[in-house]
Amino acid sequence: MFRKKDILLIFLLAVVAGGVLLLMPLLRKGAMPQAGPAAGEASLYLRYSIGGETVATLPLTEEKDLQIDQGDGVINILHLSPTGFFMLSSTCHNQLCVYQGEVTADNMDSRPLMNMVVCAPHRVVAELLPAGEVGGESP
Amino acid sequence: MSQDAPSREPRDVSRKVAQKPETPLRGPGHAAAQSRLYAQRIALCGLLTTLMLVLGYVESQIPLMPAIPGVKLGLSNAVLLYAVYLLSPSLTVGLMLVKVLLSAVLFGNPFALAFSLAGGALSVAGMLLLKRFASLGVVGISVAGAVLHNAGQMLIALALVGNANLLYYAAVLTLVGIGTGILTGVVAGLVMKAGVGMAVQAGMKPGNTRQGKPEKK
């Protein structure tokens, strides 16, 4: 059932995928600005976008729910806290975004979706950013 | 089991099935025999489509890894793999299209249709091309199909959300696809090796149905 070429193909695919898994976190850290947050600023930020267009970048300073309403019943609700965020609810059909769990500073380098929660049906991407990574953006 | 028992791939019989049913007689029985063979082929395609739909629905109800959205066993890929080996390319593509459309109508929505269509089209095209031009085994073709299915869906996701960080997720899906591809490849290989002769009856001689059956000494 297995041929030598099968094993070679599996090996090549695993090497490429493994390489991406190893390199992308390193590249992310390398590209991250090293300046820390100024006194009084939040250490973590939420940036969310719809269809690739950034809508807002918000400091995570308190527990609250953020409703992203695109009209026509297209609604996502994110629960924010000073340590991270998760998708509380969504009106999308598959609810995959709700099952993606919480993103925190501790787990964002080991999650399959890294620092993101993605609701593909609603084209919503929410990202957790350390203060140093917000860079020149105006939060 | 005899030493001569074939442990290799199921024989490539797609050309036999793809061609017009062999009807040695020309005469009154010719049309009847031909229509019977076409009916068998239609019945086989209906059976395979139903199998894919049921398997797709069942596995959609089993959350394999909730933290990794979109991960599925891809059991219906085993049926498509069977079609890649035993049916003609046009029938295989047709099966994939019917499955995708019916899945969207019965269980999904236009959004799911775009994902399924992209994944299915890339997967079937890749499996057909690799089977024709690369000397891969059934497991290799299954792995390629699974990974290409994920790639097609990731392309749609990338187009929708426009975030290049999804590449990391694509790498995770590739590793998962290797595992599920091996599983479905082994399943499809065992089914074909067991000599399930439905496709065979739709245009092949009985002698060609003995795939994997141990020969007598």
pLDDT tens digits along B139-193: 999 999 999 999 998 898 888 887 777 888 889 999 999 999 999 999 888 888 7
Q: Are residues A14 and A49 in the same domain?
A: no
* Domain identity same for A16 and A59: no
Chain B nearest C-alpha distance from A40 (Å): 30
What is the pLDDT, as a whole number, of residue B206? 37
**What confidence tier does B5 reach under pLDDT thresholds 50, 70, 90?**
very low
- Residue A35 in any domain: the answer is no
CATH of the domain at A122: 2.60.320.10
pLDDT band at A32 (very low <50, low <70, confident <90, very high): low
pTM: 0.76
Instruction: Determine the pLDDT at residue B24.
Output: 54
Contact of A23 with A114, CB cutoff 8 Å: no
List C-alpha distances in Å: B24 to B28, B33, B34, B203: 12, 10, 10, 12
Which of A5, A9, A97 to substitute to test the interface with B, most B CBs within 10 Å?
Answer: A9
Residue A69 lies in a domain: yes
- Is residue A71 domain-shared with residue A99, that is, in the same domain? yes
A57 and A125 housed in the same domain: yes
Cα–Cα distance for residue pair B202/B194, rounded to 1 Å:
17
Model confidence pLDDT, tens digit, residues A53-92: 889 999 998 899 999 999 888 999 999 999 999 999 999 8
Structural domain of A127:
44-132
Q: Is A14 found in the same domain as A75?
A: no
Whether residue B144 and residue A21 make contact (CB cut-off 8 A), yes or no, is no
Q: Which of A17, A24, A115 has the CB atom closest to B174's CB atom?
A: A17
A56 and A4 assigned to the same domain? no
Same domain, A24 and A83: no
Overall domain count for chain A? 2
Average pLDDT over chain A, rounded to whole?
Answer: 84
What is the structure's pLDDT at B98?
93
Query: Is A9 within 8 Å of B169 when comparing Cβ atoms?
Result: no
CB contact (8 A) between residue A113 and residue B161: no
Secondary structure (DSSP) of B92-113: HHHHHHHHHHHHHHHT--HHHH
A120 shares a domain with A78:
yes
Q: In this structure, are A25 and A49 located in the same domain? A: no
Within 13 Å, how many C-alpha atoms sit on residue A30's CB side?
Answer: 5
Q: Does residue A23 lie in a domain region?
A: yes
CATH class of the domain whose range is B31-201: mainly alpha
Higher per-residue pLDDT: B136 or B9: B136
Q: Report yes or no on A139 lying in a domain.
A: no
Q: Name the CA dihedral angle for A117, A121, A123, A125, rounded to a multiple of 10 degrees.
A: 0
Question: Is residue A61, in this structure, part of any structural domain at all?
Answer: yes
Can you tell me the distance from the alpha carbon of B18 to that of A62, in angstroms, rounded to the nearest whole number?
65
Q: Say whether A51 and B163 touch across the interface (CB within 8 A).
A: no
CA distance B217 to chain A (A): 23
